[in-house]
Amino acid sequence: MDSPEAENKDSPGTGLSPNTSVQSTARKESPGRSSMWPLPSISVTRHPAGKLSPQTDERCFSYCSQTTRGRTEGREPTCRSVCFRRVFAHEVRTAIAHDEALKGKTPQKDYGYPLPPEGQPNPDSLSSSSPKSDDIRYWEEGWYLWTSRSRWAAQERLDLMMWDLDRQAHWQQKKDQVQKEWDDYWAQHQRQAEEQIYGTHTTKGASNSIQLEGTPYPVDGQMLPKQEDRYPWQDSTLIKLPPPITPLLEPIRDLLSPSFKVLTTVQRSFESGAHAELAARMWEKARTPDPFILASTVCRKMWEKWKEGPPDSDTTSDI
């Protein structure tokens, strides 16, 4: 049996080990891989647009505080909430297309989803018979600022962050319908209660002397009495950013209009050369003895009056 040394000696070549071919192959392949390693890699990622976009369209900040006495008496905490909402173009275009398909009308500026009651100049216009009234404001592309002092409104706002404008509009319609049903039920309940107590029908517009406590919304299918006359949206505001500055500039423009007219007149007089002519005439007049004569005459008259003293009472009464 031959030893490994004998085999190495019998093998052709320069006497290298059998693993030499493998090592040489590795040396040949390694330069290729190492040469590709220093090259930088660039990856381009395009996020989807429209409804599937990962862009943030609303941020909300809320702050609530409570006092010891308020906690003891069970009062509502003092809350402040601020939200910044960005409405993208696809949301408004979807609303306009939806209106065109259902109504069959030409697109107008204010077509789309109406703003909630806190963003309307007249909240009662939402329940009017004409759905496209000029008093109704609609969502537009851009930024909106929402503020509130009600914790109930803040909680509802957080829930609405899960919905688009379409579902928010349906939610507002549902609330309006429930509120209308409750108002009708409450009015009928008031009339029946007063008829039982006084035995007479109340006239329209008469003051209601019966006031109960409860919630204005149905709970488990049952209408409960009112809790308060102020709704959460009445403590909230919704405005578009930037706010319109035209109404603010009109009073200032009216106040400064006389000053603008005076400045315009002075500018025209300078351009016509009237001020230069007046200055030249004053300079020529100042070089004559007439100003000094006028000044000396005034001083002499004043000195004479001072020497005469104050006038007599009889003379003053006669005058």
> Are the C-beta atoms of residues 124 and 180 closer than 8 Å to each other?
no
> What pLDDT does residue 211 have?
44
Q: Give, in order, the Cα–Cα distances in Å from 282 to each of 257, 288, 289.
A: 32, 10, 13
Please list the alpha-helical segments (H only) found in the chain: 4-10, 20-36, 68-73, 89-103, 151-160, 165-198, 246-272, 274-286, 290-308, 313-318
Q: Which two tokens stand for residue 153?
A: 């409104």
Report pTM: 0.54
Give, for all 319 residues of the chain, the pLDDT tens digit.
455 554 444 544 444 444 444 444 444 444 544 555 666 778 777 878 888 889 999 999 999 999 999 999 999 999 999 999 999 998 887 666 655 555 554 444 446 899 999 999 887 766 655 555 667 889 999 999 999 999 999 999 999 999 999 999 999 999 989 888 988 888 888 888 878 777 655 444 444 444 444 444 444 444 444 445 577 888 999 999 987 666 667 788 888 889 988 999 888 888 888 888 888 888 888 888 888 888 999 999 999 888 888 877 665 555 5
Residue 115, classified by CB atoms within 10 Å of its CB into exposed (0-12), middle (13-18) or buried (19+), is buried
* DSSP letter string, 41-93: ------PPPGGG-----EEEEEEEE--HHHHHHTPPPEEEEEEEEEE-HHHHH
Q: φ and ψ at 287, to 5 degrees?
A: -80, -10
> What pLDDT does residue 253 have?
83
> Quick check: helix, strand or coil at residue 25?
helix
**Rg of the Cα trace of the chain?**
44
